[in-house]
Amino acid sequence: MPDPAPERFTTAYRLVMALSAPIVRGWGRLQVEGLEHLPAHGPVLVAGNHDSYWDPVAVGVAARPRRQIRALAKSSLWKVKGLGRVLDGMGQIPIERGKSDTAAMSRAIEELRAGACIGIFPEGTRSLGRELRARSGFGRLAEAVPEAEIVCVGITGTTDIPAVATRPEVRVRFWRPEGGGLQPGESAAELSARLLREIRAQAPIAIAGRSRRRKMSRPAG
């Protein structure tokens, strides 16, 4: 059976990535590793660390040669005047943070089954220098769509993008998780926690300013 055709990028997504690239690639000196691990078509779940507002943009720019990433993003962003239309045009999915948002999860599952690439931050929000527990949402999507490929992404340097005195060094690395996807007997929450531990081993918690970065210890399972 022939492989499905790669997903077509939306106009809004192309435009936002084109406008963001000079900042992330130019000012941020973006380095991308392991892009070959991101499938060019078919359902994909991408899990990454979250320390900066620039993380989803950096991942989007890094993945641009292969995929459009439809992120689950906090619904409050849609309340910013004009931003909601842009996010809708980019195919982003609003989710109520801290709640069991069945509508958002149902939409993500539907789009995954249709062959989309969905990006999620298992921590659910920016770390702000804190060690956060992984939320189960990523694992629940993997459980609902077992045919989805799972890819980890480690993002570093994005907390320094707003700096003026020193240019940042942004690095985005894609890889397949060592333990694979959801294993027999493994719960959705356990999968999310396992992936977050692996990701944070590659991308320790960071806050604005290189001198204030610190490594995180492993979260409780």
**pLDDT per position as a tens digit, 52-77:** 999 999 999 999 999 999 999 889 99
The two counts, helices (H) then strands (E), for the chain are 6, 7
Contact in structure between 146 and 180 (CB atoms under 8 Å): no
**pLDDT per position as a tens digit, 134-193:** 999 999 999 999 999 999 999 999 999 998 778 999 999 999 999 999 999 999 999 999
pLDDT at 5 over 70: no
What is the fold of 11-212? Answer: Glycerol-3-phosphate (1)-acyltransferase (3.40.1130)
pLDDT at 3 over 60: no
pLDDT band at 98 (very low <50, low <70, confident <90, very high): low
Q: What is the pLDDT of residue 78?
A: 94
Mean per-residue pLDDT of the chain = 90
Per-domain boundaries in the chain: 11-212
Q: What is the C-alpha separation between 148 and 135, in angstroms, rounded?
A: 19
pLDDT band at 32 (very low <50, low <70, confident <90, very high): very high
Q: What is the pLDDT of residue 8?
A: 83
Whole-structure pTM value: 0.89
Collect all residues with Cβ–Cβ distance below 8 Å to 198 and sequence separation of at least 6.
152, 177, 178, 179
